[in-house]
Amino acid sequence: MRYSEEVKTVTRWLRKNQTPEEEIIWKLVRNRKLDGLKFYRQFPIIYERSKREYFFVADFFCHEKKLVLEIDGKIHNYQKEYDENRTQIIEHYGLSVLRIKNEELENQNNVIERIRNVCKQAFSRTETNAPPAPLLKREGSLRNQNMSKKEKTNQ
């Protein structure tokens, strides 16, 4: 599954229909506002299971720190198993996950500090032979960012 029309449609819809809490986080991290780090919003993660490709959309993703931010509203109280499964998939690719509950955004400074602390830990992890970035199958994704021009033309 390349960056299919389905993935494109879903991610575009999610970007246009952010929750108020996602908007708050986006205002805090967009345009490299947080320590010069580039964050993407509504980033698709495409993975394979049983020889089939699936995808889900992470709320925010920082490639440099291999960090996924998930903003958890009340619905997440009822889908813990689903969230745990997503976390396992994300961590399988050598990424970290930081879950932020909507209520935590009442104190944005604390949330920013939590993100900074996780980013500092992610930096030390990359210095100590952590797994490589995942090979996500998306045009413009980590997979293509890590490929040479020759590899891209041979696809």
pLDDT digits (tens, 9 = 90+) for 57-109: 999 999 999 999 999 877 766 677 878 888 998 998 889 999 999 999 999 99
Q: What is residue 143's predicted lDDT score, i.e. its pLDDT?
A: 43
Number of domains into which the chain is organized: 1
Instruction: Indicate the pTM of the whole model.
Output: 0.76
Judge whether 135 lies within some domain.
Answer: yes
CA distance 94 to 136: 12
**Domain assignment present for 88:** yes
Q: Is residue 72 part of a domain?
A: yes
Kindly state the helix (H) or strand (E) to which residue 99 belongs, with its residue range. Answer: strand 96-101
Name which residue leads in pLDDT, 44 or 132: 44
Residue 89 lies in a domain: yes
Task: Judge whether residue 151 has pLDDT over 60.
Answer: no
Domain housing 11 = 5-149
Domain assignment present for residue 154? The answer is no
Residue 15 resides in a domain: yes
Measured CA distances, 76 to 51, 72, 86, 100, 139 (Å): 28, 6, 12, 11, 30
Q: Is residue 155 part of a domain?
A: no
Write the CATH number for 132: 3.40.960.10
| pLDDT of amino acid 77 | 64
Rounded distance between C-alpha atoms, residue 29 and residue 18, angstroms: 15
Is residue 38 one of the residues assigned to a domain? yes
